A and B are shown apart, each in its own frame.
Chain A
Amino acid sequence: MKILVTVKEVAEAADDFELSENGLDIDERYLEYDLNEWDEYAVEEAVSIAEETDDADVEVVSVTIGPERSEETIRMALAKGVDRAIRIWDGTIEETDLLDVEARAEILAAVVADEEPDLVLTGVQANDDGFGATGVALADTIGFEWAAVVNHLDLDVAEGIAHVHRELEGGVEELTDVELPAVLSIQTGINEPRYASLRGIRQAQSKEIAPYGLSDLGLDAAIVDSPLSLTSMYEPETESSATVFEGDPSEEAGQLAELLRDRGVVEA
């Protein structure tokens, strides 16, 4: 069995960030890169399936669309037990925002065609652009079944079914049987992502990260042409009308205590 996990390196913006000069992104100096939070759970799920299953031949392969910088993040996934990695990038991709879900799905579909996985795990969404659509779009493109926002997974390979819980709103879970092969988008909290062990980190150094460009995947450069373009970025107007308690921590706490007493929270 083979499990393909899509992972993305995402940027988190510092609290005191500034926009870049062209106004279309956050200034690079304020960005810190890390593995997407949702993808950490997807990686953990894939690796623990590989560990727990009787079939000794479960291979976990990660795929990333990202620049060379992202190899550091990919190594962390390798250190946690992913067997090998694929990284897709070239000059054509670099010149686009890659906001178009369809383009991402087409690129990943080409990898699926090469790798022929039985199961694809993605994160529910990426921390940075938050589109939340790649997994399901990929499933439709490659003809796999799918389930979005999965927070419990029980794989029955013999039956060819994934028994999943989908985390709906308001504390309700939907129990669903999904035919394999499938793409599942993994929600945070489904498991406890492990820390990489020193041994894992050492082993990761010798694991393969295969670099591919669009042409290596037999894709035409035109697939990244997008009808969507980012035209502006700005800080949302703050509408705060809060009364701010000022002073040192003791004074701030004192004013809040007074408010709470006034409101009858505790006996004055």
Chain B
Amino acid sequence: MTVLAAAEHRRGGLRDVSYELISAGRELADALGTEFYVAVIGGTVAEFAEQLNREGVDVIYTVAEGEEFNHGVYTQAIASLAADLDPAVVMMPNSVNGLDYAPAVASGLERPLVTDVVGFEVTDGVTAVREMYASKVETTLSIDADRFCVTIRPNEWPGAEGTGDAEVREHDIEIDDSRVRSTVTGFQEVGGGDIDISDADVLVSVGRGIEEEENIELIEELADTLGATLSSSRPIVDAGWLPKNRQVGQSGKVVTPDIYIAIGISGAVQHVAGMKGAETIVAINTDPNAPIFDLADYAIVDDLFEVVPELTAQFG
């Protein structure tokens, strides 16, 4: 009985969540009193194995199949490892690619799956902590099974550090090509164009609270007055009110300005992933419980439609 975590890489590099998986996996393995294994599938596996050899990893399995992520290959590789190792827990990242294979792994292994886990509690059994209702509440979910699968939320656990003494084992598998029915033909960078919001020292960022497209003007005026750059959260870009290159967050840009002014942004985890590195965060929101205030250095709990014109006027 072990905990087996699957590392994530893209275009030649391991992604940060791989090291977070090591922290989360080791934590759970300790609580269960078992060993902790990491699997890395595809790409330059030997090099990846070296980088993954951090404190807490007992064995690293390398599966040298393919270059980039492919869910057909990943599901077969993990099924093969699970058949050999019989891990109690298969742990995967709750990333975009994680969402593309973890449910199929769980379904194939006929195990329950808990996704987007932010914490574990181990007593008699394992309980997973996860959020619901757009992060308004946390819940605990007891898992009444000896074997299960989980995906963990990125940026929740610290990345594992230190050098480990893991053994590296090559795991050879025979890929059934008839079960690889998707082909990655390339990658495309999006959100280019006239402006790079990640260069800005001051960002004035607008979210769903702005309600209507014509109200964006209000925020634009403020940004102009302050000599700041205008950015936004996802819903504004989804609605087509601002171009993709203005989007801050997990699927947009990661920004680290000196000052980030979040206006009408609740602070969903995907947004926070893109701006938590800002030096000073100011939030204006009507909802005192909005998660953005957990992060903010300065807060105004009030109606943006009243505060923003006043603020612009202060510099008039």
**Which residues in window 290-304 of B have CB below 8 A to A?**
290, 293-294, 296-303
Report whether A15 and B287 are in contact in the complex, using a CB–CB cutoff of 8 Å: yes
Report whether B253 and A242 are in contact in the complex, using a CB–CB cutoff of 8 Å: no
Is the interface on chain B under 10, 10 to 19, 20 to 34, or 35 or more residues? 35 or more
Report whether B141 and A240 are in contact in the complex, using a CB–CB cutoff of 8 Å: no
Within 8 Å by CB of A133, from B113, B135, B314, lies B113
Report whether B181 and A145 are in contact in the complex, using a CB–CB cutoff of 8 Å: yes
Query: Does A249 belong to the interface (CB within 8 Å)?
Result: yes
**Which residues in window 174-197 of B have CB below 8 A to A?**
181-191
- A170–B115 Cα distance when bound, in Å, is 21
Query: Does A101 belong to the interface (CB within 8 Å)?
Result: yes
Query: Does B225 belong to the interface (CB within 8 Å)?
Result: yes
Query: Does A188 belong to the interface (CB within 8 Å)?
Result: yes
Within 8 Å by CB of A236, from B100, B131, B238, B239, lies B131
Interface majority SS (helix, strand, loop, mixed), chain A = mixed
Question: In the complex, which residues of chain A have a beta carbon less than 8 angstroms from the beta carbon of B287?
Answer: 15
- A130–B94 Cα distance when bound, in Å, is 11
Report whether B114 and A172 are in contact in the complex, using a CB–CB cutoff of 8 Å: no
Query: Does A11 belong to the interface (CB within 8 Å)?
Result: yes
Query: Does A91 belong to the interface (CB within 8 Å)?
Result: no
Query: Does A69 belong to the interface (CB within 8 Å)?
Result: no
- A231–B143 Cα distance when bound, in Å, is 10
With known contacts A146-B71, A148-B96, A265–B127 Cβ distance under 8 A = no
Report whether B101 and A136 are in contact in the complex, using a CB–CB cutoff of 8 Å: yes
**Which residues in window 92-141 of B have CB below 8 A to A?**
94-97, 99-104, 106-108, 110, 112-116, 127, 130-141
- A239–B163 Cα distance when bound, in Å, is 33
Q: Of residues B106, B144, B296, B314, which shows the largest number of chain A Cβ atoms within 10 Å of its Cβ?
A: B314
Query: Does A212 belong to the interface (CB within 8 Å)?
Result: no
Query: Does A13 belong to the interface (CB within 8 Å)?
Result: yes
Query: Does A102 belong to the interface (CB within 8 Å)?
Result: yes
In the assembled complex, how far is the CB of residue B123 from the closest CB belonging to chain A, in whole angstroms?
11
Report whether B132 and A130 are in contact in the complex, using a CB–CB cutoff of 8 Å: yes
Query: Does A21 belong to the interface (CB within 8 Å)?
Result: no
Within 8 Å by CB of B133, from A13, A147, A228, A240, lies A13
Question: In the complex, which residues of chain B have a beta carbon less than 8 angstroms from the beta carbon of A179?
Answer: 181-182
With known contacts A174-B187, A229-B144, A238–B226 Cβ distance under 8 A = no
- A174–B100 Cα distance when bound, in Å, is 12
Query: Does A56 belong to the interface (CB within 8 Å)?
Result: no
With known contacts A149-B100, A188-B234, A230-B140, A141–B250 Cβ distance under 8 A = no
With known contacts A189-B234, A244-B300, A226–B99 Cβ distance under 8 A = no
Query: Does A33 belong to the interface (CB within 8 Å)?
Result: no
Q: Of residues A134, A167, A170, which shows the largest number of chain B Cβ atoms within 10 Å of its Cβ?
A: A170
- A97–B315 Cα distance when bound, in Å, is 53
Report whether A147 and B137 are in contact in the complex, using a CB–CB cutoff of 8 Å: no
Question: In the complex, which residues of chain B have a beta carbon less than 8 angstroms from the beta carbon of A252?
Answer: 300, 302, 307, 310
Report whether A250 and B310 are in contact in the complex, using a CB–CB cutoff of 8 Å: yes
Q: Of residues A12, A236, A253, A256, which shows the largest number of chain B Cβ atoms within 10 Å of its Cβ?
A: A253
Query: Does A214 belong to the interface (CB within 8 Å)?
Result: no
Report whether A245 and B141 are in contact in the complex, using a CB–CB cutoff of 8 Å: no
Query: Does B228 belong to the interface (CB within 8 Å)?
Result: yes
Query: Does B162 belong to the interface (CB within 8 Å)?
Result: no
Report whether B133 and A26 are in contact in the complex, using a CB–CB cutoff of 8 Å: yes
- A179–B299 Cα distance when bound, in Å, is 50
Query: Does B237 belong to the interface (CB within 8 Å)?
Result: yes
With known contacts A171-B190, A238-B289, A254-B314, A128–B142 Cβ distance under 8 A = no
Report whether B104 and A257 are in contact in the complex, using a CB–CB cutoff of 8 Å: no
Question: In the complex, which residues of chain A have a beta carbon less than 8 angstroms from the beta carbon of B225?
Answer: 266
A-B pairs, 5 with minimum CB distance: A253-B310, A257-B314, A189-B238, A249-B306, A136-B103
Residues of A within 8 A of B (CB): 11-13, 15, 17, 19, 26, 99-102, 105, 124, 127-137, 139-141, 145-149, 165-179, 185, 188-189, 192, 226-236, 238-245, 249-250, 252-254, 256-257, 259-260, 263, 265-266
Instruction: Give me 9 A-to-B residue pairs in the complex whose CB atoms sit less than 8 angstroms apart, sorted by A's number.
Output: A13-B133, A101-B106, A137-B107, A172-B188, A230-B140, A235-B137, A250-B310, A259-B298, A266-B225
Q: A230-B140, A238-B289, A240-B296 are in contact. List 7 more A-B contacts (CB 8 A).
A: A174-B187, A176-B184, A236-B131, A243-B298, A245-B299, A252-B300, A265-B259
